[in-house]
Amino acid sequence: GAVRAVAAVDLGATSGRVMIGRVGDDTLALEEVARFPNGPVERADGWHWDIDALWGHVRAGLAEALRREPAIESVGIDSWAVDYGLLRGGELLAEPFHYRDARTARGVDAVHAVIPFEELSRRNGLQFLPFTTLYQYAADPRVGEAEVSVLIPDLIAERLTGRAVAERTNASTTGLLDVRTGEWDSALAEALGIPASVLPPLVDPGETIGETPAEFGAIPVVAVGSHDTASAIVAVPLSTPNAAYISCGTWGLVGLELAEPIVTDAARQANFTNEGGVDGRVRFLHNVTGLWLLSETVRAWEEEDGAPIDLPLLLASAGAVSPPARLFDANAPELAAPGDMPGRIAALIGADRPGRAGRPMFARIIVESIAAAFARAARTAGGLAGREVDVIHLVGGGARNALLCQATADCAGVSVLAGPVEATALGNVLVQARALGCFGTDASLEDLRVRVARAFPPVRYTPRGSVVAEPA
Ligand code: LFR
């Protein structure tokens, strides 16, 4: 069949992008049309989304995408989880908070005073993360004033279509979905003082949310796995029944794809989550702090130097130093907020903040610490699910980081298959393409993954071995 085109809006931590996705029998390709900053902005009351600037960039990006490719048939939007905008009369009540804002700690105490974590996790199936939406709501006095609360991708969809919905994979990260039914747990919301009326109707990936205005082509906005991690997992070319995955960007989401959630004491104690995946699959995973540790360190050094740092060069020199004697816990809670990362990590390893000459070693410690946490989480996931993990697929920006991929393979004792780097955007595009009928509407995720593996053959890192390209 002919090659068809869709637009993917992906709002990530290092940047937001608008891409054109092209899909045909032998084609799966992305063209980046616009890239813009999407970091948290600090206001008087804490860290926020720069939502007005973002909306402007998305509009400009979509207009440019349609100019370059007038045949674009639909739009899909994804972003990170948990953050939301409160709407009243079609207007935002406030600039959305960013989840790395410290106010959420208050919400945690307030929620757990009403319902202890153990009971909460039995209802929503989630791991403990201090920024899960329900904790944010508990710290947000404006929730009660809202008519509707929409997660960020759904907010962009609402701006484009006028229709407020809750895409189900992302809704699963609010903590307010019942893990058994996949429906809103209105009783839980009300018990926490969150009016159930602010929770919009749920839609599934593949459903049409509405239509864009004429200036953006009057085309359908199609729900995708609007949680970026859900889209990324769609595009993991899982190669064995026991394969684990790591979706590695700012975070490293380490886990397994399951048919049913695991809601047990052991899973809760290991802080594993059951988030909603595309096609009703379960994303059984644990959040490991990922490249945030490195990017925030590099940001601090760049401020110190007043000049940009060459990351590939830094990583090459990090690979050349002898392996570090001391690692730190990548998941240490004190590393979550923006700020002086080198100082905080140095404190954890009992060292001084590195001078320039010490930077390669410091970067090496960060990478090895992330790899160790990745390997540990993959092993734990397998143990909890009764699977012997025999390969780890690492997708997202981290797949570019050879040092990290190799260190993860070494720590885990199984091969790491790296790529695609653009898993999130590909998952977004593939779910739209399937909805358009490109593969027959009953194509399974496995069918989509065959196409991913063909177009983007992963790179294999064998434990303590050398890097070889995987045959197509
Ligand atoms: C990754 C991600 C994670 C989520 C975190 C916060 O980008 O979406 O899945 O736990 O960001 O939303």
Q: Is 45 a catalytic residue?
A: no
Catalytic residue, from 50, 101, 228, 410: name it: 228
- Using CA positions, which residue lies closest to atom 10 of ligand 1? 81
Residue 31 CB coordination number (10 Å): 13
Q: Stretch 302-328: mean pLDDT, rounded?
A: 96
The average pLDDT across 223-233 equals: 98
Q: pLDDT digit string (tens) for 67-102? A: 999 999 999 999 999 999 999 999 999 999 999 888
Cα-based torsion angle of the residue sequence 464, 450, 9, 438 in order, rounded to the nearest 10 degrees: 170
- Averaged over 34-39, what is the pLDDT? 95
Q: Is the CB of residue 409 below 6 angstroms from any atom belonging to ligand 1?
A: no
If you measure from the C-alpha of residue 223 to the centroid of ligand 1, how many angstroms do you get, rounded to a whole number? 18
Mean pLDDT, rounded, of the chain = 96
Please check the confidence at residue 466 and state whether its pLDDT lies above 70. no
Does ligand 1 lie within 6 Å of residue 212's CB atom? Answer: no
- Asked if the peptide bond before residue 471 counts as cis, ω within 30 degrees of 0, the response is no
Element housing 187 (H / E): helix 186-191
349-360 per-position pLDDT tens digit: 999 999 999 999
Q: Three-state SS for 91?
A: strand
Give the strand pairing for 72-79 and 4-11: parallel
Coil, strand or helix at 69:
coil
Q: Tell me, what's the pLDDT at 471? A: 42
Answer yes or no: is the C-beta of 228 below 6 A from any ligand 1 atom. yes
Number of H helices, E strands in the chain: 16, 21
Q: Residue 70, class by beta-carbon neighbours within 10 Å (0-12 exposed, 13-18 middle, 19+ buried)? A: exposed
pLDDT at 332 over 80: yes
Residue 382's region, left for phi above 0, alpha for psi from -120 to 50, else beta, is: alpha
What pLDDT does residue 104 have?
84
Cβ–Cβ < 8 Å for 467, 412: no
Is the distance from the beta carbon of residue 99 to the nearest atom of ligand 1 less than 6 Å? yes
Whose C-alpha lies nearest to ligand 1, atom 7? 80
pLDDT > 90: percent of the chain = 93
Pocket lining: 82 vs ligand 1, CB cutoff 6 Å: yes
Nearest to 224 by CA among 454, 457, 456, 448: 448
pLDDT at 118: 98
257 lines ligand 1 (CB under 6 A): no
Q: What does the alpha-carbon distance between residue 217 and residue 382 come to, in Å, rounded to a whole number?
A: 46
CB 292 within 8 A of CB 250: yes
pLDDT for 103: 85
CA distance 25 to 3: 7
Distance between alpha carbon 24 and the CA centroid of its chain, in Å? 27
Beta-ladder partners of 254: 246, 286
Beta carbons of 21 and 30 less than 8 angstroms apart = yes
Q: Whose CA is nearest to atom 12 of ligand 1?
A: 81
Greater pLDDT, 203 or 141: 203
Q: Is 431 exposed, middle or buried (0-12, 13-18, 19+ CB in 10 A)?
A: buried
Residue 69: the pLDDT is 98
Is the pLDDT score of 407 beyond 70? yes
Q: What is the pLDDT of residues 151-176, one digit of tens each?
A: 999 999 999 999 999 999 999 999 99
With a cut of 0.95, is the ipTM above it?
Answer: yes
Q: Which secondary-structure segment (H or E) carries 436?
A: none
What separation in Å is there between the alpha carbon of 12 and the centre of ligand 1? 9
- pLDDT-based confidence at 217, cuts 50/70/90? very high
Mean pLDDT of 314-326: 95
Closest ligand 1 atom to 129 CA: 10
Distance CA 10, CA 78 (A): 5
Ligand 1 centre from 351 Cα, in Å?
30
Q: Which two three-digit tokens encode residue 389?
A: 């993990």
What's the token pair of residue 293? Answer: 């540790």
User: What value does the mean pLDDT take over residues 134-156?
Assistant: 96
Closest CA to 106 of 70, 85, 130: 130
Segment 298-313 mean pLDDT: 97
Q: How sure is the predictor about 328, in pLDDT bands with cuts at 50, 70 and 90?
A: very high
Residue 56 pLDDT grade (very low, low, confident, very high; cuts 50, 70, 90):
very high
pLDDT, residue 464, reads: 87
215 membership: H or E segment, kind and range: none
The residue whose C-alpha atom lies closest to atom 11 belonging to ligand 1 is: 80
Average pLDDT over residues 317-333: 95
Residue closest by Cα to atom 8 of ligand 1: 80
Section 109-136 average pLDDT: 97
Question: The pTM is what?
Answer: 0.96
Residue 376 above 90 pLDDT? Answer: yes
Structure tokens given for 394:
């690492």
Please work out whether the CB of residue 126 comes within 6 Å of at least one atom of ligand 1.
Answer: no
